[in-house]
Structure formats: structure tokens, C-alpha cells
Chains A and B, each alone.
Chain A
């Protein structure tokens, strides 16, 4: 099956702990994106990557970090520096230069 996998679906962490969210795709898409969505709000871009070993900050990158060592994988680390990490995190992919994004099922992170 082609698609985007995000795991786990629900994640709980204690305040002050770093946590890494997984995003894997087998669509052979070049571009990958991480978004944050708060209840009743739109999607805000955290980081994006157009090619392996390269990535750019989005609008709300502070307190987050990413890596892009493989085309298929774009993990997001939510660090203890992120003041309000509880949110719904969505990973997306796209073909280079294409206008359509494909989204994974999302990870709902709750920091206690």
C-alpha cells in the first residue's frame, strides 16, 4: 500500500521531555512537511524539506527540530523548549513543484 504513516496516533509525555514523532512515506515524493493544528484552528507550518539532507524553517519552528537523512523519512522532535506542545501534528508530502499535498493520519500529542 502506498501512503504516509505517522506513529503513534496518540502520544502522552510529561512536561520537560523531548519526544520524536515519526513520519514515513512510500510515495516517492521529494517534499515533506510538518504542520501543527490546534483545536478549531488552521494548519501552521513547522518545518519542510524539499530534498534529502536539507530542510527549512516554517512559521513556528521554535522548540522543534527535524532531520531528513532518507527520502522516505522526516521525523519531528518536539523539544522541552516548546512552550505549548499539546496539539495535533500532521505530516504531509508532495511531488516537487506539485500543488497537491498528501497528509498522514496525524499524531495527537498531549503533554501532561
Chain B
């Protein structure tokens, strides 16, 4: 089977940098994605890592290491609007997605 683990909660202050980790166990997958979900809303796509290394998109960066079965999402210059839940997900060879349990980020003033 496939499983992903994330910390349940992370708290940081405005302007800070925060890293949300994702470890996984999977037999095979194309890549690791990250989604953001505000309370009551739908998830929105943030980034994707098909290859090992760092991908940067504005204030958000994502990293993947297949040898360590590990990835992370890095959020810089935190803003209040970044308070949300963040999910990692793998795209497996069956062309479907398996999601992690999510990390709730609280940004304090």
C-alpha cells in the first residue's frame, strides 16, 4: 500500500519561514504534489516535484528526495492569508493520487 505522513499542526509568525515535511511509503510514483486548502474551501494546487531537488514558485518552494522518501514545502515571508491546511500527495502509477493527512498551518500576527 501507500501511506504519507505529515505533522498535524505548525504555528509560525507573520514574515517568518516555515517548512512542512512529508514522508511517504509507496511502491512507485511519478511525483509529489502539494495542495492548499482554506477552511470550508476546495484544495488548490501549489507545486509538483517529478524529479529530486527544489522547485520554486514565488514564496513557495517544494523539495523531493526519493532516496530518503521525503519531501517538504517551504513557505517564506508568511502572511496571515497563508493560514490553511497543506496536503502532500503522490501521483502513483495507477494514475490516481494518494493524499497525506494534512498539516494545519496557523500564522500569528
Instruction: Tell me, yes or no, whether B12 is within 8 Å of chain A by CB.
Output: no
How many residues on the A side are at the interface (Cβ–Cβ under 8 A)?
A: 24
Q: Given A45-B97, A50-B95, are A103 and B33 also a contact pair (CB < 8 Å)?
A: no
User: Which B69-95 residues have C-beta < 8 A from chain A?
Assistant: 87, 89, 91, 94-95
Cross-chain contact A43 with B43 (CB below 8 angstroms): yes
How many residues on the B side are at the interface (Cβ–Cβ under 8 A)?
A: 24
Cross-chain contact A99 with B43 (CB below 8 angstroms): no
Instruction: Tell me, yes or no, whether A41 is within 8 Å of chain B by CB.
Output: yes
Q: Tell me which of A42, A97, A99, A104 contacts B99 (CB under 8 A).
A: A42
Q: Given A100-B33, A104-B42, are A42 and B96 also a contact pair (CB < 8 Å)?
A: no
Residue of B nearest to A103 (CB): B42
Residue of B nearest to A4 (CB): B42
Cross-chain contact B102 with A42 (CB below 8 angstroms): yes
Q: Tell me which of B35, B42, B45, B102 contacts A105 (CB under 8 A).
A: B42
Cross-chain contact B102 with A101 (CB below 8 angstroms): no
Q: Mostly helix, strand, loop or mixed at chain B's interface?
A: strand
Cross-chain contact B96 with A33 (CB below 8 angstroms): yes
Cross-chain contact B44 with A103 (CB below 8 angstroms): yes
Instruction: Tell me, yes or no, whether A48 is within 8 Å of chain B by CB.
Output: yes
Chain A min CB distance to B18 (Å): 19
Q: Given A58-B96, A99-B30, are A42 and B45 also a contact pair (CB < 8 Å)?
A: no
Q: List the B side residues contacting A45 at CB < 8 Å.
A: 96-98
B residues touching A (Cβ–Cβ < 8 Å)?
Answer: 30-31, 33, 35, 41-45, 48, 50, 87, 89, 91, 94-102, 104
